[in-house]
Amino acid sequence: MKRARHCLLVLFLAVFLPTSAYPVGTGPKTLWTLVDEADLIFVGQVGEIQELNPEAREQHYASARALLYPSEVLKGPAKESVPVLFRPGAVCPEQPEYSEGETVIVFLVDHPRGWFTVGNVYGALFPEAGEVEDIAGLIRAAQKLQQGSELPKKGKVSAGPPERVAEKSAAEPEAAAGAPSTRVSPAGHQPSEPPVAAAQKEWLLRAAELPTTRWHGLYLLVPNGDPYEWFHYPTYRDRFRDQRVPLEPHQLEALANAFVDAPKYNRTMVMMLRALEDYSDQGLDRYVLGVVSGLLELQEIPWWGRVFLWEALARFGDRRGQKWAEDFGTTAWKASQEELRQIFARAQAELQIPFVPPLRIEPEDLSPITAGPPR
C-alpha cells in the first residue's frame, strides 16, 4: 500500500509539476539512450553517502548525496568528485543502490538542483571484475555511432572462436545424440523489424554478450522479451508484440556462446532464450536442460525461473506439435517446486527430452527481483 501511494505521488508530480522541477524520467532506459541523454559519464568509486537535512531534502527532491570519485571520464568535463543526489530505498521510481567502496559506471544529468542519475536505477552500472574496459568501449562506440561515425571493428568483447557451442556438443556425442536438432517457429509467427537502425545491431550484440550490459542489448534486440517489463507495462507488451531484430546465423551463434560461457542468473536468462528461439544447436539444447534441472534442484525457484521453464518446454514441445508450454503456463505461478519437478518429468517422458545433469546454481547466484536492469 505504501508503495502504491508513493507511485501515485510520483505520477502526480510528473504530470502536474513543470518539467524543470522533475530532474529525471522514470521510464526504462537502455545503455544506448543513457549515453545519448547523459551530460556526464564516468567510471568511478562510490565514496561517502551523506543524508540530507529536511530543508535540503525539500529543495533537491532527494534524501541523500553520494560522493563519487571519477577515475575515467567517458563523456563531459573532467571532475575530481561529483555529489550525486538520490533517494535511497525509494521504489517508484527505483533508485540506484550506491554503496561506499563500489566501482560504478554512472550516467548523470546536470540539473539546476544538482547532479542526478539519468533514468534513476537504469543510470548506474555496477560491472563485474574485468568488464570495465569492455563497457567503456561500448560507451565510446555508442557515442561515435550517435555522432554518425562507423562502429569500430569488434575487439575484445567477442574474442574467441565462434565454434564453442558446437564444440561443447561434439565433445559429448553420446549424451547429445538424443537432443532434438531442428527448430520450428510457432505457426503464424512473422517477426518484423522494430525501430533499430542497422548500424546499431552489431553494437547491441556486443552489449548482449556482456553479463552487466546484457539486458541493455537484449531489450532492443528482442522487444517484448523482458518478462518483468512484459508483466508490468501493458503498453510495452502491446507495442512490440512479436517484434524482434533479424539476426544472422553467426550473430545468433555469438549470443549462444555468451549465454553458455557467461551466464547471469536473472531475467536475462529468459530474454536470451527468447532471442535464440529459432537457433538450433545441440550444445545449446543441453545447456538449457542443465539450467532447467539446476533450477528444479533449488529449494525455491526464482520467479523468472518459472518463465524460463515455460520457454524451455516451448523450445522442445512446439517442435513436436504438443501443447506442453501452454498447459504448463496455466499452472506456472501456482505450482509448488515439487509439482514443477513432476510436470517437467512428465514432459521429458512424453516428448523424449534427454536427461541432462543439473548445472550447479547457488542461491547467492540468483539476482533479486528489481525494476530496471537486473544486477
Q: For residue 160, what is the enclosing H or E element? A: none
Distance between CA atoms of 370 and 250, rounded to whole angstroms? 32
Distance between CA atoms of 295 and 362, rounded to whole angstroms? 10
All three cell numbers of 148, joined, read: 554518425
| 69: β partners | 45
Distance between CA atoms of 140 and 75, rounded to whole angstroms? 9
Distance between CA atoms of 208 and 225, rounded to whole angstroms? 13
Q: What is residue 330's predicted lDDT score, i.e. its pLDDT?
A: 55
Contact (Cβ atoms closer than 8 angstroms) between residue 75 and residue 140? no
Distance between CA atoms of 361 and 337, rounded to whole angstroms? 15
Point out the residues of the chain with pLDDT beneath 50.
Answer: 1-22, 154-194, 320-322
- Count Cβ atoms below 10 Å from residue 84 Cβ, excluding itself: 24
Q: What is residue 72's predicted lDDT score, i.e. its pLDDT?
A: 96
Buried b (16+ CB within 10 A) or exposed e, 262-292: ebbbbbbbbbbbbbbbebbbbbbbbbbbbbb
Q: What is residue 230's predicted lDDT score, i.e. its pLDDT?
A: 62
Q: What is residue 128's predicted lDDT score, i.e. its pLDDT?
A: 82
Contact (Cβ atoms closer than 8 angstroms) between residue 179 and residue 286? yes
Q: What is residue 241's predicted lDDT score, i.e. its pLDDT?
A: 54
Contact (Cβ atoms closer than 8 angstroms) between residue 338 and residue 345? no
- Count Cβ atoms below 10 Å from residue 101 Cβ, excluding itself: 7
| 124: β partners | 106
Distance between CA atoms of 56 and 20, rounded to whole angstroms? 17
Distance between CA atoms of 5 and 224, rounded to whole angstroms? 28
Q: What is residue 351's predicted lDDT score, i.e. its pLDDT?
A: 84
**266-269: long-range pairs with CB below 8 Å, 24+:** 266/304, 266/366, 266/367, 266/374, 266/375, 267/215, 267/226, 267/227, 267/228, 267/304, 267/307, 267/367, 267/374, 268/214, 268/215, 268/218, 268/374, 269/304, 269/308
Q: What is residue 346's predicted lDDT score, i.e. its pLDDT?
A: 85
Q: What is residue 331's predicted lDDT score, i.e. its pLDDT?
A: 59
